[in-house]
Structure 1
Amino acid sequence: MKKNFIFILTFLLIAVVGCNNDDDTATANSVNVAFASPSVNLTENTTTLNLVFSGATATAGTITLSVATENVVYGTDFKTVPAVANNTLVVPFTAGASSATFSFEKLINAIEGEVKNVKFTITAVSTSAVVVTEAAKSLQVNFNETASLGQSLSAAVGGANQPNQVYVDLSSGTMTVVPRVSWDLGFHAGTDFRIAINGSLKMSAKQLTTTNIDEVQVADESMIISQGAGSATQIDNPVGLITGTAIAPVSENDADNKVYLVNLGSNPATNTPASGTEGSASGSLRGWKKIRVLKSGNDYKLQYAEIGATTHTEVVISKNSGYNFSFFSFTTNGTVNVEPQKDKWDLNFTTFTNLVGPTTPYYYPDFIVNNLKGGAKAYMVAVSQTVTYDNFTLANVVDANFTEDQRGIGSNWRSTSVTGSDGIPVSQFVLRTDRFFVVKDPAGNIYKVKLTGGASNTGERGFPTFLYSLL
């Protein structure tokens, strides 16, 4: 601000000299007026904005400002004293004044990712004894971004077949929808050279003894993940720590980097399942690949091929520190955009390969993971006579309950069957209303989150809705 003020005063002094030598522009006794700064970032609810004169004004008068807005409405997002009328603000000043001021009151903050500003421009002065400094006649007032206070949202996972993953950023209220089949491998952008596989498709990976990617391999049906089938060592650990990937860390020594047999899992089903059941796991099998990953400086070198091939394709995949992973697709044979930036999402509505017990893979639809690798954590709160979603406040948060596990919500928000009239379980989505969740985002904002639905009016699964509020 000090530099800006000196900058403006310099313009004013130049303007005064110019006026003294140009009787056609103003009298020798005229003064110049300009904004004290070209822009202001709002940090307080009420801010005093200044117009400065190069000398004392000879008489009283007014300065007329035009008002241009971006994504704000007067009276809703902001107001001023004096008031704005017809996109015009008139600011008075007294005789002998060295400045004129008006106040700006911010009524609603900008949430993350939203641009909100107001631009004031001097268009007229009531007296010819005050001359506008053209180079400094405008001021832009910027609304600082803040976290969303909360809202109700619906995650578009796509119905009972749940073909989509939905990434949610609570602080901005934005959601990113990505087809589950759009990616196969995730190459970690951190210091660890680790590769993730797409658990939402029931993928698995098994290390072989060879380092020769061109050696013919055969399918291994024991790798196929189904309910209670498959190997825990061949899936990424569902806790979500980057050290738990099925594929070993890439070694500096190429001889240590083995070939992996990769089962690509299954597609979402194309047929609509019966009401209350899910179809995300019953699609066609996606086949097999063999891969080998080496280091290429600070990047990855991926070698891949069909399992019966005697030649391979090679591609270098770069790290991008702004993201958790760089994603690769065997369908497009290239990198693809999947997750938002690592600090721009908190929850992922997805299908998921979990474990039942320490060694048994089990596939879950209607699953929610928190962005553990980006720093988001979550835990569950049980509703009681004294604790409810409505009365839960920041003072009730137990920081120690945030754990290093991306399943802080997981499947705990729903069940999938009810007991029929004959005593036999019947498939049906059931929302668990006896609990809600606390989520801390990568910026440290803490929210309470309540799932409010998961099925359509006709009972079709795959329609999750939720409510959240900033604590």
Structure 2
Amino acid sequence: MKRYVLMLALLGGVLASCSKNEEETKKPLTPEVPQAPQGGLVEAGKAYIVLPEVGGANQPNQVYVDLSSGKMTKIKRDTWDLAFYCGEDFRVLLNASLAMSVKPTEYTDITKFVVPDRSILFEDDPRFPAQKLISKHLIDDPRGILQEQTGLEGTGTAIAQVSSTEEANKVYLLNMGSEISTTTPEVGGVNLQGAHRGFMKIRITRSGNDYKIAYAKNDELEKINTLTITKNPEYNFIFLNLSSGKTVQVQPKKKDWDLCFTPSTSWFSTQKEKIASPSNSVTYFPDMIISNLHGGTKATIFQSSDKSEEKRNQEYSAYNKEKALRIDFSQEKYNNQMIIGRNWRDNQLGNLVRNELYYLIKDGDGNHFKLKILSMKNDKGERGYPAFEYELLK
């Protein structure tokens, strides 16, 4: 119990504003290192800097970065609600960047009233982030693994696999999450969640190789909207905006991005051996870096031998492709889109870059990139302005 209380205290620091003596001093970007090009191909052996436009302390944007070209794709994170998997399986994801969650019902008739349940919401006070039990399976597996794993609660998608048996597909109560906050926090803090976006009810079935979704406000008994979603193998997912009833372009094609900067719901730990721990739980985090697992991107983390930034820079400079090729990314431990996740920043203070770390990224085409994160703030000390340096290894 003491350990759990300690983790609650530590989590409070993740999203809280810090005191001035804790604030990260933003380091000037190295002038001789150019910003990555927005298109074309990066040159192997040459260092580049990338400044993802997350949008400041409210972090309104999701930013997708393609390391091969340096191209960034920015999208406002409330543009979409559900993502429909384009692979062989039939899986649907929630928009984790809005702190969405679901709860299954026991029936298949979507015309029935679904009682709202505020217990599945994530709190909107950034100083006191809510924690939820993994066993309730309110969110998708943050590791990006779509299938449930035997004996591990909360794994797989929160909406069950869409079955070819019509009657097996239940109605779900859908928590639409929170609007993007426009409240400016104290310097060095974040404020992600605005007003609650309400509840809806949804039911997803299959029609051949397509998805069929029926959806409505949770108290609507007659006006039920329906839509067919067709898979596109060039993409990982097709994204749907429930307000407009239209699909929207969110992610680039599956091989055209590697990292996404975004807030997201997640677990305290995404390591397999810690998933079943009673101290593990679900909450909503800022400053996440998610790798394109479904497009074949894998990542790993290195820590400098004496845990210092100076030593990190020395080891980073010496890191080469020969060393990179020794990493066997086929191992199960790398089957995780949250390898970087929130691990790149200090999880106790929440707003300091861990400058002793550097990273190796292998994309879906087999290219290897080394990467180090330079900062997470602008010159005013405002959070939500990340910068990183990377290099294609030759």
CA RMSD of aligned residues (A): 1.9
Structure 1 residue matching 2:108: 3-state secondary structure: coil
2:144 aligned residue (225, 240, 256): 240
- Asked if structure 2 preserves the Cα contact closer than 8 Å seen for 1:242 and 1:373, the reply is no
Residues in 1 aligned to 2:58 and 2:42: alpha-carbon distance in whole angstroms: 36
Is 1:415 the counterpart of 2:346? The answer is yes
- Asked if structure 2 preserves the Cα contact closer than 8 Å seen for 1:241 and 1:405, the reply is yes
Q: What residue in structure 1 maps to residue 337 of structure 2?
A: 406
- For residue 112 of structure 1, report the CA deviation from its aligned partner: 9.7
The alpha-carbon distance between structure 1 residues 441 and 292, as it changes in their structure 2 partners (threshold 3 A), is: same
- For residue 219 of structure 1, report the CA deviation from its aligned partner: 0.7
Is 1:318 the counterpart of 2:237? The answer is no
- Asked if structure 2 preserves the Cα contact closer than 8 Å seen for 1:112 and 1:147, the reply is no
Residues in 1 aligned to 2:219 and 2:242: alpha-carbon distance in whole angstroms: 16
Is 1:286 the counterpart of 2:197? The answer is yes
Q: What residue in structure 2 maps to residue 178 of structure 1?
A: 75
- Asked if structure 1 preserves the Cα contact closer than 8 Å seen for 2:300 and 2:359, the reply is yes
The alpha-carbon distance between structure 1 residues 342 and 318, as it changes in their structure 2 partners (threshold 3 A), is: same
- For residue 307 of structure 1, report the CA deviation from its aligned partner: 0.2
The alpha-carbon distance between structure 1 residues 218 and 408, as it changes in their structure 2 partners (threshold 3 A), is: same
Structure 1 residue matching 2:167: 3-state secondary structure: helix
Q: Deviations over 1:174-215 (max 9, x none)?
A: 000011100100000000000000111111011110000100
- Asked if structure 1 preserves the Cα contact closer than 8 Å seen for 2:360 and 2:369, the reply is yes
Is 1:393 the counterpart of 2:320? The answer is yes
- For residue 395 of structure 1, report the CA deviation from its aligned partner: 1.9
> Mapping of 1:50-449 within 5 angstroms?
114=40, 149-226=46-123, 227-232=129-134, 233-243=137-147, 244-280=156-192, 282-311=193-222, 312-356=224-268, 358=275, 359-384=280-305, 388-397=315-324, 398-400=326-328, 403-415=334-346, 429-449=351-371
- For residue 237 of structure 1, report the CA deviation from its aligned partner: 0.6
- For residue 155 of structure 1, report the CA deviation from its aligned partner: 0.4
- Structure 1: which 5+ residue stretches go unaligned? 1-110, 115-144, 419-427
Structure 2 residue matching 1:390: 3-state secondary structure: helix
- For residue 416 of structure 1, report the CA deviation from its aligned partner: 6.0
Structure 2 residue matching 1:389: 3-state secondary structure: helix
- Asked if structure 2 preserves the Cα contact closer than 8 Å seen for 1:183 and 1:329, the reply is yes
- For residue 113 of structure 1, report the CA deviation from its aligned partner: 5.1
- For residue 230 of structure 1, report the CA deviation from its aligned partner: 2.9
Q: What residue in structure 2 maps to residue 102 of structure 1?
A: none
- For residue 225 of structure 1, report the CA deviation from its aligned partner: 2.3
- Asked if structure 2 preserves the Cα contact closer than 8 Å seen for 1:225 and 1:361, the reply is no
Residues in 2 aligned to 1:353 and 1:147: alpha-carbon distance in whole angstroms: 35
Q: Deviations over 1:298-323 (max 9, x none)?
A: 11001000000112100001100000
- Asked if structure 1 preserves the Cα contact closer than 8 Å seen for 2:42 and 2:392, the reply is no
Residues in 2 aligned to 1:229 and 1:362: alpha-carbon distance in whole angstroms: 5
Farther off after superposition, 357-366 or 236-245: 357-366
- Asked if structure 2 preserves the Cα contact closer than 8 Å seen for 1:150 and 1:170, the reply is no
- For residue 331 of structure 1, report the CA deviation from its aligned partner: 2.4
Q: What residue in structure 1 maps to residue 7 of structure 2?
A: none
Give the structure with the higher percent strand: 1
Code of the residue aligned with 2:56 in structure 1: it is G
Residues in 2 aligned to 1:112 and 1:273: alpha-carbon distance in whole angstroms: 32
- For residue 368 of structure 1, report the CA deviation from its aligned partner: 0.1
Code of the residue aligned with 1:153 in structure 2: it is V
Q: What residue in structure 2 maps to residue 108 of structure 1?
A: none
Code of the residue aligned with 2:132 in structure 1: it is G
Q: Deviations over 1:38-94 (max 9, x none)?
A: xxxxxxxxxxxxxxxxxxxxxxxxxxxxxxxxxxxxxxxxxxxxxxxxxxxxxxxxx
- Asked if structure 2 preserves the Cα contact closer than 8 Å seen for 1:204 and 1:234, the reply is yes
Structure 2 residue matching 1:275: 3-state secondary structure: coil
The alpha-carbon distance between structure 1 residues 271 and 112, as it changes in their structure 2 partners (threshold 3 A), is: closer
- For residue 457 of structure 1, report the CA deviation from its aligned partner: 1.2
TM-score normalised according to structure 2 size: 0.78
- Asked if structure 2 preserves the Cα contact closer than 8 Å seen for 1:213 and 1:292, the reply is yes
TM-score normalised according to structure 1 size: 0.65
- Asked if structure 2 preserves the Cα contact closer than 8 Å seen for 1:290 and 1:306, the reply is yes
- Asked if structure 1 preserves the Cα contact closer than 8 Å seen for 2:80 and 2:248, the reply is yes
Percentage of identical aligned residues: 40
Residues in 2 aligned to 1:221 and 1:410: alpha-carbon distance in whole angstroms: 27
- For residue 150 of structure 1, report the CA deviation from its aligned partner: 4.5
- For residue 297 of structure 1, report the CA deviation from its aligned partner: 1.3
Code of the residue aligned with 1:235 in structure 2: it is I
The alpha-carbon distance between structure 1 residues 278 and 146, as it changes in their structure 2 partners (threshold 3 A), is: closer
Structure 1 consecutive aligned stretches of length 4 or more whose deviation exceeds 6 Å: none
- For residue 362 of structure 1, report the CA deviation from its aligned partner: 1.4
Structure 2 residue matching 1:431: 3-state secondary structure: coil
Higher relative contact order (Cα pairs below 8 Å, separated by 6+ residues): 2
How many residues align structurally?
321
- Structure 2: which 5+ residue stretches go unaligned? 1-36, 124-128, 148-155, 270-274
Residues in 2 aligned to 1:146 and 1:432: alpha-carbon distance in whole angstroms: 26
Code of the residue aligned with 2:290 in structure 1: it is V
- For residue 469 of structure 1, report the CA deviation from its aligned partner: 0.3
